[in-house]
Amino acid sequence: MNAPILLVEDEANDVFFMKHAFKLAGILNPMQVAQDGQEAMDFLAGDGGFADRNRFPLPSLVLLDLKLPRVMGLDVLQWMRGQAELRTVIVIVLTSSGLGPDIDRAYELGANAYLVKPSSHDDLREIAIQIKQFWLELNRSPAVRLKFASLMANGA
């Protein structure tokens, strides 16, 4: 089974659009949703209700909004890059802000990509297709490699 994608997004409509676009793009990975920064951190750390790694495995990809309740997206990113287990998880910032300082800061903190939310759903579907083709198919990600390594270790 494909590693899940974690969508960190507080707007219910945007969650719907994203799921819809991913479905149209033919992305089969299950999507987990965290509605604020704190929930994202809990999920990634396996805290609270997310302790069961079989039910809530680590995602191979995180789609991160920046303006979030409780803990802001850039703070989540900074925290992730300080965690040994999460340091190499691919993070794609997906936000409304196309402001230079946010983009610079996101890359400084170790974002792998920065995308601005399009207002058109057609454009969002195009983004989903690009994410599938590049990040999920073409790109070799460390999280996937780790998973294979652990599978082999379990098998031996």
Partner 1 sequence: MKMVKRKFLLKAQALRTEEVPRAHLPAFQSAQNAPADLGASEMRYRRLFETARDGVLLLNPDTRKITDVNPFMTQFLGYTHAEFVGKELWEIGLAEDRADSRKMFRALRRTHFVRYENLPLVSSTGQARPVEVVANLYEENTHQVIQCNVRDIAARKRDEQALVAAKNESCRQASELQKTVTERTARLWETIAELEAFSYSISHDMRAPLRAMRGFAEILLEEHSAQLDLKALNYLEKIAAGAAHLDSLIMEVLTYTHVLNAEVKLEAIDLNVLVPQVIKTYPELQNDNVEIQIEGPLPKVLGGGASVAQCVSSLLTNAVKFVPPKTKARVKIRAEAVETDIRLWVEDNGVGIAPQDQSRIFKMFERVGRAATYEGFGMGLTIARKAVERMGGQIGVESTVGQGSKFWIQLKEATL
Q: Given phi > 0 = left and psi -120 to 50 = alpha, else beta, which region is 122?
A: alpha
26 is a contact residue toward partner 1 (CB under 8 A): no
Considering beta carbons, is residue 68 or 136 the nearer one to partner 1? 68
Nearest Cα to Cα of residue 90 among 34, 42, 145, 129:
145
Query: Is residue 54 involved in binding partner 1 (CB under 8 A)?
Result: no
- Under rule CB under 8 A, residue 77 binds partner 1: no
Q: Pick the closer one to partner 1 by CB: 99 or 149.
A: 99
Task: Please answer whether residues 89 and 60 qualify as being in contact, where contact means their C-beta atoms are separated by less than 8 angstroms.
Answer: yes
Contact between 20 and partner 1 by CB under 8 A: the answer reads yes
| 17 closest CA partner among 103, 123, 104 | 123
Q: Which helix (H) or strand (E) holds 6?
A: strand 5-8
Contact 37, 69 (CB under 8 A): yes
Which residues within the stretch 101-140 sit at the binding site for partner 1 (CB under 8 A)?
117-122, 124
Candidate segments 7-15, 27-35, 54-62, 133-141, binder of partner 1 by CB under 8 A: 7-15
147 binds partner 1 per the rule CB under 8 A = no
Residue 96 vs 141, nearer CB to partner 1: 96
Q: Which stretch binds partner 1 (CB under 8 A): 13-21, 35-43, 74-82, 133-141?
A: 13-21
Residue type, 99: L
CB 122, CB 104: distance < 8 Å: no
Q: Which stretches of the chain bind partner 1, using CB under 8 A?
A: 11, 13-14, 17, 20, 67, 95-100, 117-122, 124
